[in-house]
Structure 1
Amino acid sequence: MKRIPTPQFWRRLPLARQLLLAVNSFLLILVATFLVVDHRLRIRREVQQTRIALAEEAKTLYESAVAIDDSGSDAVQKLVDSVCARMNSQDSPGHHIALRWQGQNLQAQSHGRASSDMFDAMMAAATGNPNSMPMAESMVVGSFDGPAGRVYVSEKRSNILAVAREALFRQMIAVLLGGVIAAALVSLVIRQIVTKPMRRMEASLQRIGSGDLNAHVDVHSCRELAYLGEQINEMRAKLDAVEQDRRVHMEKAKSIQQNLRPKSQALEGVQVAELFEPADDVGGDYYDVIQLSDGSTLLCVADVSGHGVPAAMAATLLKSFVTDAAKLSNRPAEILDHVNRKYYEYVVMGHFATMVLVRVDSLRRQVVYANAGHELPFIQSGDGPVERLEHSDLILGVEDSTTYEDHSVNVCEGTKIVIVSDGVTEAFNPSEDQFGTGRVESVVSVGSGDDAKSLVRRFASELHQFREGRAAFDDTTLLVAQVG
């Protein structure tokens, strides 16, 4: 069976209004059908009653005419005129009397409707064949037949219809008032049984949808809604249990990731400070500070695409890859080569990552770096201008055969190296403005006299003021190293 489509406007209506319209529409159709049928039956009944009354009147006239028949046809004519005039003026406008009396056709002359056509029409209506003459269809005729003749009394059908219409109008007014009262009562009942419970249920669902798993549905207006409320409460309880379980696991994951952060240690010739704020409980940014075998310090910042648990797992793998590679080589490029091969082998395609490695050799006053598509590090020597370590190669995880290159920069005591993730440069405020590299350079320049920890605190304050309370959409990682 083909499904009949539901109009769009109907689906947008609240349930209570749909019920009210459906019930009232059904009642309206039912009442309209009743009124039409009753109106037709009323007309038929009124016509039949009028015909009987007219027949009784014809019988009375016949008996009166017989009583005065000895006085001649003029006396009968006078009687007919008198009765017809009285009826037309008082009770029944359109009343007409005709007789077939002693071989003569007599009609009331007082109202001017007497004619041979009128007589023929009355005869046709009295015999039950009104269709034979158009005029006969507009009248109701009662008759009485006796030895002396036949009496016909007619009434306009329009008078009967007028009475029926007036009765119909009164009936419609009564039905309308009754319908208004019934609609109000139905609306009140629907409001108590359906509307209010549904609104409470809707409010509870909205609270659950927004994360409030303490919301409870308390609906007992009918069995169906009570059952639906119980199911929603069961769903809420299950979601709450799942959420509690998720929170426990996320707390454990967060603790594990925090434990993977580099431990505070005294580094020879280098002061290091960091800012790490995951966008979720765990993040896809990874940073590390590793003391190499030759006494130099390796700074590492990486950013896995996306955030949350998958990105955090990939970041954990990166840490293990970097730690292993740093035991085999002191060169950033060779470390990146090793990390890229491992990352390509173990991580699902599409979860790309960027990484920058900066080796700080405070004895030789030299910085050697290799970059796999990460944000270019910032460097400032003393009070000099802020510059960028501009060389960069392909991101991790695209090709296992990628070869990275080292680039070196000579530095002096007090030189600062600032490495950020795109969660810093791409931080947004409520006006959709980006923090950008220009602001990073400005903060570094203004804080040229700060040590590493003070500069990190300055960045944290600047980012907080810039966001104006807007939540970070990406992990925020910043690593500052100061030579000497």
Structure 2
Amino acid sequence: MNSFLLIMVSGFLVVDHRLRVRREVGQTRIALAEEAKTLYESAVAVEGENTDAVQKLVDSVCARMNSDESPGHHIALQWGGELLQAKSHGRSSPEMFDAMMAAAHGHVDAEPMAEAMVVGAFQGPAGQVLVSEQRSNILAVAREALIRQMIAVFLAGSLAAFLVNLVLRKIVTKPIRRLVTSLQSVGDGNLESRVDVHSCRELTYLGEQFNDMASKLDAAERDRRVHMTKARAIQQNLRPSSDAIPGLNIAALFKPADDVGGDYYDVIRLNDDSTLLCIADVCGHGVPAAMAATLLKAFVAEAAKQSHHPAEILTRVNQQYYEYVILGYFATMVLVRVDMAEKQLVYANAGHELPFVQCDQEPVQRLDHSDLILGVEADTTYEECCRPICSGTKLVLVSDGVTEAFNPDDEQFGTERVSDTIARAIGEHASDLVVRFDSALEAFRDGRQAFDDTTLVVAELMKEEGRSSEAAG
């Protein structure tokens, strides 16, 4: 606003200066014409004596004007067939007379000197009188007036701007800043933020509408939190029970990135005394992914009643998932059947992170077979592989929220750190390994928020002596 006012005032001063110069030139021309008329009458009065008397009159008047009121003043006459000019200031010349004549008749283009002067003229029967004044003198007077006017406008404008800004600061600026601060607070999640605006009617109304909006958002958020708490409790309740499975120790880590997550894991006892381990990851996280994960749990539970083969189960799950889940919510899943009687793992993988396996104290290896992810094609047929195991084998299933966890330097946790963590846990139970992973991930993130669900399942095949001691107990 101040810039706009400054531009307006500057434009006004420029236009006013030009009009002032034009006005001063016009008034000067009129005054010089009156002076020329007076000089004509005086010259007629002294003409009876001789031409020298007229010359003396001209010199006297011009000298007085130059010394007192009008520097650059000059007088010229065409009198009695003679050319007379004031000689007191040394500017008399034929060129000067020609320039004065050109300026008097508006022919400034013909004489370059004519542009620099303003001329007033009077012509009578006895001759013609020309009186000139330097245009620079007129411009100097106009500039002095402009400077005085600019100083006055600056002082008045500064005072007015100070008063206007003071009023606007109190009525507009401060209330708007309070409103912006409250808006930023709401944007940061503080829905209890309110603004106290008592200013002009418009800002007061805007503040009231903001407070009403914030109250409604706060109420909606409270209601959402209640529903999300219930949804989280339901999802936690869907996790498999921790009942002991003979010969197998199982522990899990499940931390959704939001209130609910798109990761899912399950442990299913099959009727042939084997155990089916499952872990899945739906694209994204939050409520939609959690709903898709709940469907996967139901599909797996139903398919496991019809077959004990991971590949057949995965094929059936994919058919149902493709039918019921909207396009785009693809999922990965790995199924591992732990057959303790045959001492083997039977597994099928739909694009999920390859499971980690360590037989007793041997190096950590991967179950390196994988097929297409779920939800892409309804007729995908999955294959399964077998791997022998020994007593003390640890099987670790993870979601990409583990391997793709980031630290503040944007470095991923990665599969090598997973293998190293398992290798350092030789001799530890499954629950101890889960605690070790939880601590390792927290230390690696170093305070950085997890952007994806974190799920990890550890299954440990108990050693024979452990099982015998347990049975004896």
Q: Which category describes the TM-score, using the shorter chain as reference length?
A: 0.7 to 0.9
Tell me if 1:471 matches 2:449: yes
- Specify the alignment match of 1:376 in structure 2: 354
Give the paired residue count: 457
Could you tell me which amino acid in structure 1 is paired with residue 34 of structure 2?
I
Residues 1:377 and 1:190: Cα distance change in structure 2 (over 3 Å): same
Residues 1:186 and 1:50: Cα distance change in structure 2 (over 3 Å): farther
> Residues of 2 paired with 1:40 and 1:195: CA distance?
44
- Specify the alignment match of 1:340 in structure 2: 318
- 2:420 pairs with 428, 431, 442, which one? 442
Matches within 5 A, 1:143-154: 143=122, 152=129, 154=131
- Give 1:302 shift: 1.2
The share of aligned pairs that are identical, in percent, is 57
Tell me if 1:30 matches 2:12: yes
Could you tell me which amino acid in structure 2 is paired with residue 323 of structure 1?
A
1:286 match: secondary structure: strand
Q: Quote the RMSD (CA, aligned, Å).
A: 3.3
Name which of structure 1's ranges 153-162 and 115-124 shifts more when overlaid on structure 2: 115-124
- Give 1:323 shift: 1.4
- Specify the alignment match of 1:7 in structure 2: none
> Residues of 1 paired with 2:57 and 2:328: CA distance?
115
Matches within 5 A, 1:77-88: 77-88=55-66
Residues 1:189 and 1:27: Cα distance change in structure 2 (over 3 Å): farther
Q: Is the 8 A contact 1:57 1:153 kept in 2?
A: no
Q: Is the 8 A contact 2:262 2:281 kept in 1?
A: yes
Tell me if 1:415 matches 2:397: no
Residues 1:346 and 1:141: Cα distance change in structure 2 (over 3 Å): closer
- Specify the alignment match of 1:241 in structure 2: 219
> Residues of 1 paired with 2:410 and 2:432: CA distance?
28
- Specify the alignment match of 2:177 in structure 1: 199
Q: Is the 8 A contact 1:59 1:143 kept in 2?
A: no
- Give 1:72 shift: 5.5
Could you tell me which amino acid in structure 2 is paired with residue 427 of structure 1?
A
- Specify the alignment match of 2:467 in structure 1: none
- Specify the alignment match of 2:262 in structure 1: 284
> Residues of 2 paired with 1:361 and 1:437: CA distance?
26
Gaps spanning 5+ residues in structure 2: where?
A: 463-473
> Residues of 2 paired with 1:395 and 1:73: CA distance?
122
Could you tell me which amino acid in structure 2 is paired with residue 373 of structure 1?
G
> Residues of 1 paired with 2:114 and 2:354: CA distance?
108
Residues 1:408 and 1:314: Cα distance change in structure 2 (over 3 Å): same
1:330 match: secondary structure: coil
Residues 1:80 and 1:299: Cα distance change in structure 2 (over 3 Å): closer
Residues 1:41 and 1:328: Cα distance change in structure 2 (over 3 Å): same
Residues 1:375 and 1:81: Cα distance change in structure 2 (over 3 Å): closer
> Residues of 2 paired with 1:38 and 1:25: CA distance?
20
- Specify the alignment match of 1:140 in structure 2: 119
Could you tell me which amino acid in structure 2 is paired with residue 141 of structure 1?
G
- Specify the alignment match of 1:456 in structure 2: 434
Q: Is the 8 A contact 2:263 2:399 kept in 1?
A: yes
Matches within 5 A, 1:53-202: 53-56=35-38, 59=41, 65=46, 69=48, 74-75=52-53, 77-93=55-71, 94-96=73-75, 98=77, 100=79, 108-111=86-89, 129=105, 131=107, 138-141=117-120, 143=122, 152=129, 154-158=131-135, 159-179=137-157, 181-183=159-161, 187-202=165-180
- Give 1:32 shift: 2.0
Residues 1:49 and 1:236: Cα distance change in structure 2 (over 3 Å): farther
Name which of structure 1's ranges 463-472 and 33-42 shifts more when overlaid on structure 2: 33-42
* TM value normalised by structure 1: 0.82
Tell me if 1:426 matches 2:404: yes
- Give 1:451 shift: 0.8
- Give 1:189 shift: 5.0
Q: Is the 8 A contact 2:228 2:260 kept in 1?
A: yes
- Give 1:273 shift: 0.7
- Give 1:462 shift: 0.9
> Residues of 2 paired with 1:114 and 1:384: CA distance?
121
- Specify the alignment match of 1:46 in structure 2: 28
- Give 1:389 shift: 2.2
Name which of structure 1's ranges 108-117 and 388-397 shifts more when overlaid on structure 2: 108-117
Residues 1:284 and 1:115: Cα distance change in structure 2 (over 3 Å): closer
- Post-superposition Cα deviations, 1:262-290, rounded to whole Å, max 9, x if no partner, equal 12212222111110001111111111112
Q: Is the 8 A contact 2:322 2:375 kept in 1?
A: yes
Q: Is the 8 A contact 2:21 2:139 kept in 1?
A: no
- Specify the alignment match of 2:253 in structure 1: 275
> Residues of 1 paired with 2:460 and 2:237: CA distance?
24
Q: Is the 8 A contact 1:257 1:282 kept in 2?
A: yes
> Residues of 2 paired with 1:428 and 1:136: CA distance?
84
Name which of structure 1's ranges 376-385 and 210-219 shifts more when overlaid on structure 2: 210-219
- 1:395 pairs with 334, 350, 373, which one? 373
- Specify the alignment match of 1:404 in structure 2: 382
Residues 1:25 and 1:87: Cα distance change in structure 2 (over 3 Å): closer
Residues 1:286 and 1:164: Cα distance change in structure 2 (over 3 Å): closer
> Residues of 2 paired with 1:294 and 1:182: CA distance?
94
1:217 match: secondary structure: coil
Q: Is the 8 A contact 1:58 1:153 kept in 2?
A: no
- Post-superposition Cα deviations, 1:246-267, rounded to whole Å, max 9, x if no partner, equal 2222112111101111122122
- Specify the alignment match of 1:320 in structure 2: 298
- Post-superposition Cα deviations, 1:348-377, rounded to whole Å, max 9, x if no partner, equal 233222222222233443333222222222
Could you tell me which amino acid in structure 2 is paired with residue 154 of structure 1?
V
1:216 match: secondary structure: coil
Residues 1:36 and 1:195: Cα distance change in structure 2 (over 3 Å): farther
Gaps spanning 5+ residues in structure 1: where?
A: 1-18
